[in-house]
Structure 1
Amino acid sequence: MDKMMNANMPQLRSSSSMSPPLTSLTNKVGKRWKEYQGMNNWNGLLDPLDENLRAEILRYGQFVEAAYKSFEFDPSSPDYATCKFPKRTHLERCGLHNTGYKVTKHLRATSGIKLPTWVDKAPSWVATQSSYIGYVAVCHNKEEIKRLGRRDIVVAFRGTTTCLEWLENLRATLNNVVQPTATGITAAEPCSVEENGAMVESGFLSLYTSKLSDNPSFMSLQDMVRKEIGRILKTYEGENLSLTFTGHSLGAALATLTAYDIRNSFLRPPHVTVISFGGPRIGNRSFRRRLEEQGTKVLRIVNSDDVITKIPGFVFDEVEKKEGDVEGKGEMDAQARGRGTVAVVLGDRGGASAL
């Protein structure tokens, strides 16, 4: 797990030796917090990589690591694919002390794949349909809120671990993303598929929207996130808030999809940012356009050697202009940069550049 995460952040870590633990962060984001959350599409912060932005990227990366560390990987355990730690001590038991955040909700994702009957004879871990995928955490410490300039809400997702999640990753056909139906004053206005045209890979959409067929009361990941975010926004109504979605690999795809959905599900959501690590390309041009039109800011951290971020079939259309330099980096043109989806590519020689 650590190797997978570190593969996407080697140059970030090396620019100032090893990354500082969360307990030692002293960089003050303060009044510039919207700038670091992508309000200006990170213009002027990427080359060279701003130290405050670097610290923020690493901080969110550590939240993703906590989603991995809290997952029960042992297939022989009766608790396989669940969260090992209670919400109250979740971050501390993952080695993240004094973060100023508290976990408020553990999240589960369910595969919509229909299994053949012979699977009943296979080990239970082979057919695990629903598993712990991440968590929601809220900044509650007054000093950390002051340092950050707002109360931050983090939704963190791990990458692929279970058999059915791997199978979902292979479902590369595109499905329409149906807009939320208005259900009250907090819901966005509905939008038809024909007007929208946004499509994402069916496997990611399945993990986000599926429920257990034998337990209709079991909520989908989508339902869980909407309900928890709605509760938190109501609790802290009137405060300066931000929503930050982060994840690695599969988790990066879910972070982007969740941010898109949450931004559409509430009439007046706070600033929404995605900081993803090693994420695949997940949707079509219409999906990207909708992300940018709704004001969601996406910062993708990718390694130039990471095949997953380029696999055909993961068709998130980045506007890319190849420069042919020795580090294999690309550079996004000015028009695309202005729309709010930015990728930071870590080249073989270190440093960072925007796609």
Structure 2
Amino acid sequence: MANWKELSGEKNWESLLKPLNTNLRDYIKLYGKRVQVIYDSVNSEDKTRPAYAKEDLFSEAAIETGTFENLYTVTDYIFANSDVAPWFDWMVKDQYAWFGYVAVATDEGKRVMGRRDILICWRGTVSPAEWFKNAQFDQVSASEIFEKSQDPQVHKGFLSIYTSPSTEPSSSNLSARDQVMNAVKNLVNKPEYREEEISITVAGHSLGAALATLNATDIVTNQYNKRTGSKEACVVTAFVFASPKLDIVTDLPPSFISYKKVGMKLRIKSHKSALLNFIDGLQLHDIIPESHSLKEYLQGVTARQSQ
């Protein structure tokens, strides 16, 4: 893709959203499907773990074959800790679970995509402990990972999932943030890629959209998008689906808390098929989860091009 920088937001997607550019549509769906892989690959017996080894994720998961097949290889799995307040332990237990992965473009991927892309994908909420963290929408300082002079305030629950160290005896005790940053640092500085143009793309859905936003900002703020000893920074882009405040399910925190919306918005009608099903007898309480699903969003992206 010769115009990959434009598709990655170099010009804030100017003239590409209305109508939705065909190449950008495929680009968005590419990253959305890479997030969907996480949902499709959760272990049926232990939902906190992936069903497949890293090297088998894309070959075993339900990814459509075609132009964008075999473009990435997974290098690292991401696990995160949802620590619940002690007084809720009787009802909701702490949980350390698989949240996503880091991947890098293969040689074929580099040829098709126009650069060596490092991809980070985050899933949305699947457990009671994670719903508990979603509800912790009071603001806390994130100065430990962002600019201290500005003292940025972020969602308490999201930041906790991103930065809490593991309490699992069998784990490395690293937070999700540390796992991701170690993987990115290794890939950015990999000797084989030293002479190549690289990019970093972060994608997520729902809770994962919030984590992707924190992650992408963290990468840029702390210059993980620069090779060691270099002043040149690579492009970092976040593609987020059903992001908090922009979705029927994630329309929280409430308006009286001063959160700000960020980024460029592509509005789609993700509820369309659910509403059609409602005519055939689907109940109202079924519409909201269906409208929120990532698969529904990807269908909406396809339909959006013709609007």
Tell me the TM-score range normalised by the shorter chain: 0.7 to 0.9
- Partner of 2:7 in structure 1? 36
Following the alignment from structure 2 to structure 1, what is the Cα–Cα distance between the partners of residues 184 and 10?
A: 21
1:167 and 1:196 mapped to 2: Cα distance? 28
**Structure 2 counterpart of 1:243:** 200
- Match status 1:167 vs 2:159: no
CA shift, 1:317, in A, is: 1.7
- Tell whether 2:159 aligns with 1:205: yes
Residue identity opposite 2:304 in structure 1: G
Instruction: Provide TM-score, normalisation by structure 2.
Output: 0.77
2:283 corresponds to? none
**One-letter amino acid matched to 2:181:** R
SS in 2 for 1:257: helix
Asked if the contact 2:70/2:106 (under 8 Å) is kept, the reply is no
Q: TM-score, normalised by structure 1?
A: 0.67
Deviations 1:251-275 (A, max 9, x none): 0000000111111222624210000
Offset at 1:280? 0.2
Q: Structure 1 residues 274 and 315 mapped into 2: Cα distance closer, same or farther (>3 Å)?
A: farther
Q: Does 1:49 align with 2:3?
A: no
Whether the 8 Å CA contact 1:112–1:211 is kept in 2: the answer is no
**Per-residue deviation at 1:217?**
4.5
- Which of 86, 97, 100 aligns to 1:115? It is 86
1:312 lines up with 2:254 in the alignment: yes
Q: Which amino acid aligns with 1:223?
A: D
Residue 351 of structure 1 pairs with residue 304 of structure 2: yes
Deviations 1:56-112 (A, max 9, x none): 00111100100111122x4xx3x3311111011101111235332111111011023
CA change 1:115–1:214 in 2 (3 A) is farther
Q: Name the CA shift for 1:238/1:214 in 2 (closer, same or farther; >3 Å).
A: same
Where do 5+ consecutive residues of structure 1 fail to align? 1-28, 181-189, 282-301, 320-340
- When structure 1 is superposed on structure 2, of 31-40 and 204-213 the one drifting more is 204-213
Q: Return the alpha-carbon distance in structure 2 between the equivalents of residues 51 and 115 of structure 1.
A: 50
**3-state SS in 2 of match to 1:196:** coil
TM-align CA RMSD: 2.6
Contact 1:179 1:264 (8 Å CA) reproduced = no
Q: Secondary structure at the match of 1:106?
A: strand
- Give 3-state SS (helix, strand or coil) of 2:19's partner: coil
Of the three residues 123, 127, 131, the one matched with 2:93 is 127
1:247 counterpart SS class: strand
Q: Distance in 2 between matches of 1:45 and 1:117?
A: 47
Residues 345 and 311 (structure 1), Cα distance of their counterparts in 2 relative to 1, 3 Å cut: farther
Counterpart CA distance in 1 for 2:197 and 2:61 is 28
Q: 2:189 aligns with which of 211, 222, 234?
A: 234
Distance 1:309 1:237, change over 3 A: farther
**Secondary structure of the structure 2 residue equivalent to 1:45:** coil
Q: Counterpart of 1:177?
A: 142
Q: How many angstroms apart in 2 are the aligned matches of 1:214 and 1:158?
A: 20
1:171-229 deviation line (CA, Å, top 9, x unaligned): 0101111244xxxxxxxxx842xx21321100000000001347595110011011000
Hey, what does 2:294 align to over in structure 1? none
2:19 maps to 1:62: no
Alignment of 1:137-286 (within 5 A): 137-142=103-108, 144-180=109-145, 191-192=147-148, 195-213=149-167, 215=169, 217-235=172-190, 236-266=193-223, 268=226, 269-281=233-245
| Structure 2 residue matching 1:68: 3-state secondary structure | helix
Instruction: Tell me the distance in 2 between the aligned counterparts of 1:232 and 1:83.
Output: 22
2 CA distance for matches of 1:206 and 1:91?
Answer: 29
Shift of the alpha carbon at 1:114? 3.1
In the alignment, the residues of structure 1 paired with residue 86 and residue 112 of structure 2 have an alpha-carbon distance, to the nearest angstrom, of 49
Q: What do the CA deviations read for 1:262-317 (whole angstroms, capped 9, x no partner)?
A: 11222624210000000104xxxxxxxxxxxxxxxxxxxx66xx242465267542
Percent of counterpart pairs with the same letter?
A: 31
